[in-house]
Homo-oligomer: A and B are copies of this chain.
Amino acid sequence: MPGPDSGEWTYARAGVDRGEVATALAALLRGVRFRPPPASGRRLELPGHYAGLVRVGRETIAITTDTVGTKGLLAEELGRWEEVGEDAVAINVNDLAAVGARPIGLVDVISVARTDPEVFAQIGRGLDRGLRAAGCHLLGGETAVVPELLRGTDLGGTAIGFFPRGRRPVTGSAVRPGDLLIGLPSSGLHANGLTLARRLVRETRTPLDRPRPGASRPLGEELLTATRCYVRATEALAGSSEVTGYAHLSGGGVRNLVRLHPRVEFVLDRWPTPPGLFPFLRELGAIAPREMFQTFNQGIGFVVVARPRRRSELFRRLARAGYPDAVEIGHVARGRGVSLPAEGLRFEGYA
């Protein structure tokens, strides 16, 4: 790993060390030993997914929780809150989509140093856009005013989803060599890698109010673009016997594919050239390709894994649902992990 004097930037150098987070989380989980009786619902083990699943009476409920993290600091800098409001929905419902669940709704959590009605109004309009894209309810929320605890605004949420009658969770367990990998393009960074991106912009004194070379919008706006919602894609594919897995490429980038199935290789041999924002950041920070692919989404925000038969039908359904830009990005092979042959990259495990 490059030292702090090297010109090369990593997510860890920007302050977020995935190994340390994993160690802390393991310590927490060792403390949680209680297993409730079946009367409280039966938890379904779903290794490798961000969504938790539980059988409740006659339904299966999926639940996900996530925050927009340091993207809120960018929102603060730019005085624009609609995008992160939309993100608070999208980052959560996309994790529901990744198990094939239909979102029911979201509760939001806003922790602030002080309440500003204009900021809250913008967040509300953003939440509305996110709920509209996902077709789900705002079910509640919490506003915590904690001036001593926070420098800015922390925005997050929890979403729940269900499986309409006859639909089963998509777990990835049926993924096998020969399956097709279809990528759904992202709208930008989404809500991942912002700690690193913001750090690079600051250290290189790159102006946020002007477009980067080749872009039409100011860089700040481009970085802030709301997360694309993939719910309409998984709803359009629901019930298709070809689909074997979904992956939401959020924190961890293409590594998230490894979580889907531990005993196959995800060969990304047709990854499209990442949109200009990604090479721009890569050059700004002399970021290694490996780090780019495990920190940013590199242009693809969601992956559909499917049997290769009837591929044109899958693409047709995706196009009709609002994803005419879906693209084949690779295939599943015998092996382990994720590989990007063109970059000479290989990721063996998740953490």
Contact = CB atoms under 8 A, between A and B. Distances in A.
Q: How many chain copies does the complex carry?
A: 2
Given A25-B143, A148-B195, 4 more contacts: A54-B105, A57-B165, A109-B156, A146-B195
Given A107-B63, A124-B28, A139 B56 contact: no
Nearest to A25: B143
A123 B58 contact: no
Given A41-B162, A135-B36, A24 B116 contact: yes
A29 interface: yes
21 contacts: A24-B119, A24-B120, A27-B121, A28-B141, A30-B124, A31-B126, A32-B131, A39-B102, A41-B162, A43-B137, A51-B140, A54-B160, A56-B162, A57-B59, A58-B59, A63-B139, A65-B108, A73-B149, A109-B158, A148-B151, A150-B151
A164 B66 contact: no
Interface stretch (A13-21, A172-180, A295-303, A315-323): A13-21
Given A24-B116, A128-B34, A61 B160 contact: yes
A33 B138 CA distance: 10
A279 interface: no
A247 interface: no
* Secondary structure of the A contact surface, majority rule: mixed
A214 to B, nearest CB: 29
Contacts of A127: 28, 31-32
**Top 9 A-B pairs, shortest CB-CB distance:** A31-B124, A52-B139, A158-B158, A24-B115, A28-B124, A52-B140, A31-B125, A24-B120, A27-B121
Which residue of A25, A31, A73 has the most chain B CB atoms within 10 A of its CB atom? A31
A69 interface: yes
A188 interface: no
